[in-house]
Amino acid sequence: MTLRVLRAADRKAVPWKNGGGVTREIAVSPEGAGTDDFDWRISLADVGTDGPFSVFPGVDRILTVVEGAGMDLAVGGQRTVADERYRPYRFPGDVETDGRLVDGRTVVNFNVMHRRGRTACLTSVVRGGLLVAVEPGSTVVIVALDGPSVLKEAHVTLGPYDAAVLTQSPGSLHTEGHAAVVTLRSG
């Protein structure tokens, strides 16, 4: 089994250029890639003010609100209210997007970005138990969003915002809260 555990306490908060929040990168492929050359990137963002999202040509985004009341998004002029916690919202990252805080207070978003044509992505949020299957050529990233999550056969416990990157199946996942399960496949 190939398993890499990434602890939340080891991440650095990187302030945004516009001063509206901070990002904590969880994992990126290829490792060490910047914002212009990643195949996929997973992060947590503390959003403190209303404002435009960065544009990423050729990238699709999945935003999941994990703390706070949510965001009112205008994606290419179409409005989407992302105010349900633990529900992934998908939108193109190369379309002008503006976000407003629903109640004016900071939210924390779990973000998945993947480059079209290079990576296919499925993001789910689970609660309870799940048999985790990693297909050949795929990577699965599990992030505990609240409460502990346990990869039973690997004897690994993830605290809030800890992550596990898997390239082979670890067996079963059990979470007392919510966990994001992101499956990424080249192609």
Range of the domain at 40: 11-115
Q: Within this chain, do residues 86 and 18 fall inside the same structural domain, yes or no?
A: yes
pLDDT attached to residue 18: 75
Please count the helices (runs of H) and the strands (runs of E) in the chain.
0, 17
Of residues 90, 89, 86, the one with CA closest to residue 180: 86
Same domain? 77 vs 159: no
Give the model's confidence band at 56: pLDDT under 50 very low, under 70 low, under 90 confident, else very high: very high
pLDDT tier, 187 (very low <50, low <70, confident <90, very high otherwise): confident
In a domain, 3, yes or no: no
β-pair partners for 143: 163, 180
Q: Are residues 166 and 138 in the same domain?
A: yes
Task: State whether 77 and 151 are in the same domain.
Answer: no
Give dist(CA 89, CA 69) in Å, integer. 15
Structure confidence at residue 127 as a pLDDT band (50, 70, 90): very high
In a domain, 136, yes or no: yes
- The model's confidence at residue 68, banded by pLDDT at 50, 70 and 90, is very high
For residues 127 and 105, membership in a common domain is answered with no
Q: Is the pTM higher than 0.75?
A: yes
pLDDT above 70 as % of the chain: 99
pLDDT of 19 = 80
Asked whether residue 25 falls in the same domain as residue 107, the answer is yes
Cite the DSSP H helix spans in the chain: none
10-33 burial, b for 16+ CB within 10 Å, e for fewer? ebeeeebeeebbbbbbbbbbeeee
Q: How many domains does the chain have?
A: 2
**CATH number where 170 lies:** 2.60.120.10
How crowded is the C-beta side of 72, counted as CA atoms within 13 Å? Answer: 8
Residue 170: predicted pLDDT:
77
